Amino acid sequence: MQLTPQQLRQFDEEGYLFLPDCFSEEEVATLRDEAEQIYATNRQEVWREKTGAPRTAFAAHTYNEAFRLLGNHPRLIRPVEQVFGEKLYMHQYKINAKAAFEGDVWQWHQDYGTWARDDGMPEPRAMNIAVFMDEVMPINGPLMLVPRSHKHGVLSAGHDEETTSYPLWTLDNETVTRLVNLGGIVAPTGKPGGVLMFHGNLVHGSAPNITPYPRRIVYLTLCAVSNYIRKPTRPEWIAHRDFTPIEPVADGALLDYARAYKREAAE
Ligand code: SIN
Ligand code: MN
């Protein structure tokens, strides 16, 4: 999958790109199943909300075959390679749950702020690419983005270790107000299988989910290989130290896996 010059321009100007229908329901259904099995374990990589509901599961590409195939998928890797003009490695991998009724807030932040401060990443040459596993709706805690905020570089932030179970470098209300006055707020919504890529400096956050509809999203953090992290402070399963360039799998690999998984379940 190649991005068009118009899509590349939109990414550069607005700081994000939404690509609906990248994965089929058959592919995504298997990911949802596997995510639930991961959330049900007590692996150290599974972080929970204060209520005990799953919040995020790290590094699933290292211990689950379906998520490994997704992490090496050409529909995700190729567009990001195109933006950075070089090979990529996986800096971080999260399956965020935003569970029905219990999914908590992600405060306003920039991803690169954390990668720079906590991991020693030299440049914002990494980005999150999100795969919707559920329908993301205006009501179930969609990711909210501040268009064009990536043009403002790394903003000063405070380290919030209190509000949720996940420590985050968050922005203050004045900064967010100033940027929203310039760019507004968008919340891309859509069916499972949609993909959202956004610049490492784009300001974003999400509200709690008080609906009965879960909003599970997988986030691959893909980093240009030359931009590998220099001073990691977080565990290896949060900020990876394996800088091997990703070689994409075949386009049909996840679908083949999903069909085999379904056959096995029917037997
Ligand atoms: C993030 O910004 O890393 C996660 C936000 C979300 O899943 O809502
Ligand atoms: Mn983020």
- Which CATH number characterizes residue 54's domain? 2.60.120.620
Amino acid 18: pLDDT = 98
Q: What residue's CA is closest to ligand 1, atom 2?
A: 205
Question: How close is the Cα of 203 to the center of ligand 2, in Å?
Answer: 8
pLDDT mean values, one per 10 residues, the chain (267 residues): 95 98 97 98 97 97 98 98 98 98 97 96 98 98 98 93 86 97 98 98 98 98 98 97 98 97 86
**Tally of domains within the chain:** 1
Atom of ligand 1 nearest to the CA of 141: 8
Amino acid 162: pLDDT = 85
* Surface-to-core class of residue 229, CB atoms within 10 Å of its CB (0-12 exposed, 13-18 middle, 19+ buried): buried
R_g of the chain, CA atoms, integer Å: 17
Pocket of ligand 1 (CB under 6 A): 96, 98, 106, 143, 204, 206, 217, 219
Amino acid 8: pLDDT = 98
Amino acid 1: pLDDT = 77
**What range defines the domain where residue 113 resides?**
5-266
Amino acid 183: pLDDT = 98
User: If we measure between CA atoms, which residue out of 79, 21, 31, 58 comes closest to residue 254?
Assistant: 31
Amino acid 230: pLDDT = 98
Amino acid 226: pLDDT = 98
Laid out side by side, the sheet with 158-160 consists of 144-145, 204-206, 106-109, 168-170, 158-160
Token pair, residue 31, equals 């990911």
CA distances from 255 to 70, 79, 250 (A): 10, 20, 10
Question: How close is the Cα of 211 to the center of ligand 2, in Å?
Answer: 22
Whether the model pTM is above 0.95: yes
- C-alpha to C-alpha distance for 267 and 253, rounded to whole angstroms: 21
Amino acid 214: pLDDT = 98
